[in-house]
Amino acid sequence: MRRRLPFSPWHLLLMPLALIFVLPLVQMVLTSFMTTQEINQFPPRFIPTSIHLEGYRTLLAESHIVRWFANTVLVSAIAVVSHLVLCSLAGYGFARLRFAGRGVAFLAIVATVMIPIQLLMIPTYLMFARAGIVDTLAAAFVPWLASAFGIFLMRQFFLGLPVELEEAARLDGCGALRTFVSVVLPLARPALATLAVFTLLSSWNDLLWPLVAISDDTKYTLQVGLASFQGTRRTEWSQLMAGNVIATMPLIIAFLVAQRRFIATMTFTGLKG
């Protein structure tokens, strides 16, 4: 018989891995509370001597970070709400209702999935310029109002629901909208949660599109703001880390609070559809 370790050997793999994944984030938080002198010390120190708010103060005073934060919250909120409403409606339409042009419309949506954003950003920028919304927050959220992924996800979910309940509601005289709102939607919570989480993550974290569409620094989202701030202060690490903390902590805290649901949601991704 083999000699047994007092603990499972899997810990020997998982412990170092967990540290590799989490220590950089811990260092990010700790560094945001250091002074520049502390950061430039040699050998580098990991823990600040005491909590210094210098980085945060300078960041607040010399950038529009509060504005960027508000902009990002607004863009993400619009993205999530609009996704939930429009994609669930469309998903239901494609799954359950019969209408002329349904097949063609759905095919067109599926066809768009493969198109990379890099191909779209040039004409989309031109389109938005003609519509006069370049450099406004609208430019940041309009592409997030609905997505092929969202429609597809919801359609798959609705296809998997038993039809009987809806038929019963119809027989009781409910119209399509009423059936949808009061019978179908309450059943769709897991799918809606997945859609909300994915939309929140990707709209909050997006850099490329707002970088292209917005150049007025009061209209930046957090990611664009951070990137531009980084461009001008490559070595002001306490400020950069403070910005990073402000930009990432809301989602990280949300994740820590609702962890179980969050992970359940991630695995729901159309995989089982």
Site residues for another protein, 96-125, by CB under 8 A, read: 96-102, 105, 108-109, 111-112, 114-125
- Element at 265 (helix H, strand E): helix 259-266
Stretch that binds another protein, among 7-15, 62-70, 133-141, 184-192 (CB under 8 A): 7-15
* Cβ atoms of residues 114 and 71 within 8 Å: no
Other beta carbons within 10 Å of 74: 14
What contacts 28, CB < 8 A, 6 or more positions away? 241, 244, 245, 248
Cα separation values, 84 from 146, 149, 151, Å: 9, 12, 10
Site string for another protein, 183-222 (x = CB under 8 A): ------------------x--xx-xx--xx---------x
Would you count residue 227 as binding another protein (CB under 8 A)?
yes
State which of positions 45-104 bind another protein (CB under 8 A): 46, 86-87, 89-90, 92-94, 96-102
Q: What gap in Å lies between CA 12 and CA 5, rounded to an integer?
A: 11
Other beta carbons within 10 Å of 122: 10
- Least distance (Å) from another protein to the CB of residue 265? 10
The count of chain residues that interact with another protein, using the rule CB under 8 A, is 106
State which of positions 235-264 bind another protein (CB under 8 A): 237, 240-241, 243-244, 247-248, 251-252, 255-256, 259, 263
State which of positions 8-47 bind another protein (CB under 8 A): 8, 10-11, 13-15, 17-25, 27-28, 31, 39-44, 46
Applying CB under 8 A, among 52, 67, 170, 261 the residue interacting with another protein is 170
Q: What gap in Å lies between CA 263 and CA 174, rounded to an integer?
A: 36
Sign of CA dihedral 185, 191, 194, 200: negative
- Least distance (Å) from another protein to the CB of residue 271? 6
